[in-house]
Structure 1
Amino acid sequence: MKISAADLGNELKSLGFEFYCGVPCSFLNNLINYAINECDYVMSNNEGDAVAICAGAYLAGKKSVVLMQNSGLTNATSPLTSLNYSFKLPVLGFVSLRGEPRLNDEPQHELMGTITEKMLELMQVKWEYLSNDIAEVKCQIARANESIENKESFFFIVKKGVLGAVELKPQQLNKNTNKFLKVKSEDDELAMRLNVIETITATKADDTVILATTGKTGRELYEVEDSQNNLYMVGSMGSISSIGLGIALNSNMKTIAVDGDGALLMRMGNLATNAYYSPANLLHVLIDNNMHDSTGGQFTVSSNVDFVQIAASTGYENSIYVHSLDELKKTIIGWYRNPVLTFIYIKVRNGTKENLGRPKIKPYEVKERLMEFIRER
């Protein structure tokens, strides 16, 4: 017995779940088709990125749904445990049960089929098997919505054949291309990362949120200016531009995602996702010191990577190498005057100030005041 994926989607929509993000799975294809046809859907390249994009949507005031195969649950563990849990950013999830013991499934799904429940329990995520009875599904959705309202994530495990067919409507694919590329053309000033963050905050407009990546970048933003419009990432390394994408797509806020070389290298696939959806109100700034500063100064492999060319090749409308703080300031001002999806790269020297502090405000408190800032605008 199957339930209609359209009936499920309509029930979710009646409760405000209209933003979806995920990575495809054949068990979930009908719900994905419904989401693409009827809602706002972001096709992610990685399940962890999808969770972070949904977190950004929630920060912008949107209930969100993440869709994934259970093998992808392994990619999502970092944001689920260190982003959603720490910041109390709830997400409604649907995860397929590939490798169910009674199925003759592919060998790579065998282990995940036996541990999917345990993984959700270990991450303290509430879950249920999605029923194949629509009356019971409505009760399940009500319970899930109650969890979301209580700022707790909730996942449905979906077995094979539960969801009935939804035909995917013809899609018009985006064809975004780089229009302005500026590569390295002179010596770098090599300011400190702290000075870059000072320049960003000094140049920001009132309708701007600033998101700082994991580690000392977030700590330095807090040191420069603790503000309601800031988010200091903890954990979930590499997810800052995904959060920025979720906010930018679901609000009118100017959104500046401040990234690091080690973090971006960890989740480079989101460059392509950002470029495909191409929100004009997203500015992605990469600060490259060629090291993992927060863990003792170990090197990254960024010296072999041309980030500016990569961002351009994925379709960022502007991809710009800046050599100095003054050039950075002028480029940010230019983005405010003519907002398009923009990638800015700046190389800095290593190190930070002595006795760098840590935020004294808890992650969920940072989240609450940021959401209030966005709501008020």
Structure 2
Amino acid sequence: MIRHDLLKTLIPVISDQLVVCNIGAPSQELHSLDDQPTNFYMLGTMGLASSIGFGLALAQDKPVISIDGDGSVLTNLATLSTIANNPRDNFILLIVDNGSYGSTGDQPTYAGRRTSLAAVARACGCETVIEVAAEDTPQALADALAAKRMTVIVSKCDSGNVQVPVITMNPITIRERFMAAVAE
């Protein structure tokens, strides 16, 4: 199962949640599958979806799901230490680990080789870390939301992209409508 198909299976679980989605192809895929005001699409800043989502979880009490990629998490490993040392039970980090930099041509990441992001998250001090196959991700995410406990989910899926339109919405519009959804 590739990331697009994984995201499609997550829609029933995430469509009414605050979601901060990773840069590039993941944001474009989520936007094409289920555009919601509660989705914050990263159009820049590789590696910061987890940090921005975590900051949002610190600032308010609604559940927040950050959908990040293995390549992006590898560019900002410090986010895992920050998350571990400041736990917020309204935060879930979903790492879509396809072993590649999907937005730039599927070049392999080290997560596709010897580096285990689940082991890294545990070593940083994250207490609830789950590694699942792509097809088991919707249930793992639903369980994490129900548990109301900070959770890092590493979802192992295949590399590959689906051609979807770019997001033409202005970044300011994305921000404003997301902020309005957070305030509701």
Instruction: Tell me the TM-score normalized by structure 1.
Output: 0.47
Contact 2:133 2:157 in 1 (8 A): no
Q: Which residue of 2 aligns with 1:279?
A: 88
Q: Which has the larger radius of gyration?
A: 1
Identify the residue that residue 233 of structure 1 maps to in structure 2: 42
| Residue 235 of structure 1, CA deviation | 1.6
- Counterpart in 2 of 1:307? 117
Distance 1:332 1:300 in 2: 24
Assess, with a 3 A threshold, how the Cα gap between structure 1 residues 371 and 345 changes in structure 2: closer, same or farther: same
- SS of the equivalent of 1:214 reads coil
Structure with greater contact order relative to length (CA < 8 Å, sep ≥ 6): 2
- Select which of 144, 148, 173 maps to 1:339: 148
Aligned partner of 2:171 in structure 1 is 363
Count of aligned positions = 183
Relative to structure 1, is the Cα distance of residues 205 and 197 closer, same or farther in structure 2, using a 3 angstrom cutoff? closer
Match of 1:223 among 32, 46, 68: 32
Q: CA shift at 1:205, angstroms?
A: 6.5
Give the equivalent residue in structure 1 for 2:159: 350
Secondary structure of the residue aligned to 1:242 is helix
Structure 1 position 360, deviation (Å): 2.1
**Structure 1: gaps of 5 or more residues:** 1-190
2 CA distance for matches of 1:293 and 1:324?
16
DSSP 3-state at the match of 1:248: helix
Q: Is the 8 A contact 2:58 2:88 kept in 1?
A: yes
Which residue does 1:179 correspond to in 2? none
Question: In the aligned structure 2, how far is the partner of 1:193 from the partner of 1:356?
Answer: 13
Q: Percent identity?
A: 28
Q: TM-score, normalised by structure 2?
A: 0.94
C-alpha separation in 2, matches of 1:200 and 1:281 = 18
SS of residue matched to 2:149: coil
Q: 1:198: which partner in 2?
A: 8
Other structure's SS at 1:283 match: strand
Long gaps (5+) in structure 2: none
Residue 59 (structure 2) pairs with residue 250 (structure 1): yes
Letter in 2 for 1:250: A
Query: Deviations along 1:71-94, whole A, 9 cap, x unmatched?
Result: xxxxxxxxxxxxxxxxxxxxxxxx
Contact conserved, 1:317 with 1:340, CA < 8 A, in 2?
no
- CA RMSD of superposed structures (Å): 1.3
For 1:304, what is the secondary structure of its paired residue?
coil
Partner amino acid, structure 2, of 1:334 = D
Deviation at 1:315, TM superposition (A): 2.0
Residue 375 (structure 1) aligns with: 183
* Cα distance in 1 between the residues matched to 2:27 and 2:131: 22
What CA distance in whole angstroms lies between the structure 1 residues aligned with 2:122 and 2:39?
A: 27
Deviant stretches of 4+, over 2 Å: none
Using the TM superposition, give the Cα deviation of residue 243 of structure 1 relative to its aligned residue in structure 2, in angstroms: 0.3
